């Protein structure tokens, strides 16, 4: 059908008719670390792509094309946005106290990295708590594809959500490569990434707290993740 008002109207009707299917697919991922409302939006976007790209002349039923397209869109969303697993509040606190102690000690101890016992004394923590905090610091941007996603009751990991392996992903999540790029982001963007991936806040909650639209938050998250990805990949190629 040639472009025009009739085609646009038919497109909207098809999308509306198949939205329940997209919602059901989003529901399969609802307990795996992302809000259901955000997943519904992603699934709806995948449905629109399926409608636009579907070619009936190939002989396949629309559903057989739409289901993998919508599911693939959801998997890409996890790949692009789930940079870190949820960090428990206690671990966040230990990480912050260890970081502050390390910064304080580095001002007076310039010849070597402070040891666990020194950090423990400075932060008034046990050595075991210091080790937990150090591990959290080192893992700030590290993503274990085998780790179970928060809220998952069936052992579902992010690796399951990603589908086929992406060789570039290992480079993107390398903590040493990403860390300076994160620090270079504007304060608001860093705050948004922290609220989204460390405090597990929904995009709507972040938008309300910052006084901006949910769509703006979504665009900022997407832009930051892609920017970090592109910069790290560029660095890796230049190395």
User: What DSSP element (H or E) covers 67?
Assistant: helix 62-81
How large a percentage of the chain has pLDDT more than 70?
A: 67
Assess whether pLDDT exceeds 70 at residue 2.
Answer: no
Q: Most distant CA pair in the chain: distance in Å? A: 73
For 76, the domain range is 5-81
pLDDT digits (tens, 9 = 90+) for 176-223: 456 677 778 888 888 887 787 667 778 888 888 888 888 888 888 888
Instruction: Return the minimum-mean-pLDDT range out of 2-6, 50-54, 152-156, 165-169.
Output: 165-169
CATH code (residue 196): 1.20.140.160
Same domain, 104 and 122: yes
Is residue 185 domain-resident? yes
Quote the pTM value: 0.39
226-229, Cβ contacts within 8 angstroms, sequence gap of 24 or more: 226/80, 228/172, 228/178, 228/181, 228/182, 228/185, 229/80, 229/168, 229/172
Q: Looking at the structure, tell me whether residues 182 and 234 fall in a common domain.
A: yes
Count of beta carbons in the 10 Å neighbourhood of residue 44: 18
Are 94 and 72 within one domain?
no
* 56 within some domain: yes
At 236, list the tokens: 């890796």
- Rounded to whole angstroms, how far apart are CA atoms 216 and 89? 27
* Residue 133 is assigned to a structural domain of this protein: yes
The 10s digit of each residue's pLDDT in 26-51 is: 988 876 667 788 889 999 999 999 99
Whether residues 51 and 103 share a domain: the answer is: no
- Distance of alpha carbon 126 from alpha carbon 120, whole angstroms: 6
Are 179 and 216 within one domain? Answer: yes
Q: What is the CATH number of the domain that holds 10?
A: 1.10.1740.10
pLDDT of residue 20: 92
Q: How many folded domains does the chain comprise? A: 3
Under the banding of pLDDT at 50, 70 and 90, the label for residue 82 is low
93 and 76 fall within a common domain = no
Least confident of 32-41, 101-110, 131-140, 152-161: 152-161
Q: What is the predicted pLDDT for the residue at 196?
A: 78
When comparing pLDDT for 235 and 10, which is higher?
Answer: 10
Tell me if 36 is assigned to some domain. Answer: yes
Q: Mark which of 61, 81, 101 sits at the end of a domain.
A: 81
């Amino acid at each position: 059908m040639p472009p025009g008002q009739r085609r646009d109207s038919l497109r909207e009707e098809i999308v509306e008719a198949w939205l329940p299917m997209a919602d059901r697919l989003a529901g399969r991922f609802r307990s795996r670390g992302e809000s259901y409302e955000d997943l519904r939006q992603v699934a709806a976007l995948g449905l629109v792509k399926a409608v636009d790209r579907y070619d009936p002349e190939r002989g396949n039923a629309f559903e057989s094309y739409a289901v993998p397209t919508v599911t693939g869109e959801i998997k890409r969303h996890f790949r692009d946005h789930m940079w870190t697993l949820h960090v428990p509040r206690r671990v966040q606190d230990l990480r912050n106290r260890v970081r502050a102690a390390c910064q304080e000690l580095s001002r007076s101890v310039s010849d070597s990295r402070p040891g666990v016992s020194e950090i423990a004394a400075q932060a008034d923590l046990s050595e075991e708590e210091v080790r937990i905090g150090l591990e959290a610091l080192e893992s700030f941007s590290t993503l274990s594809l085998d780790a179970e996603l928060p809220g998952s009751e069936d052992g579902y990991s992010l690796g399951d959500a990603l589908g086929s392996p992406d060789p570039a992903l290992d480079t993107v999540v390398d903590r040493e490569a990403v860390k300076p790029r994160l620090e270079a982001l504007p304060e608001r963007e860093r705050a948004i990434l922290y609220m989204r991936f460390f405090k597990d806040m929904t995009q709507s909650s972040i938008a309300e707290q910052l006084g901006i639209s949910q769509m703006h938050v979504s665009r900022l998250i997407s832009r930051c993740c892609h920017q970090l990805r592109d910069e790290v990949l560029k660095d890796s190629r230049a190395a």
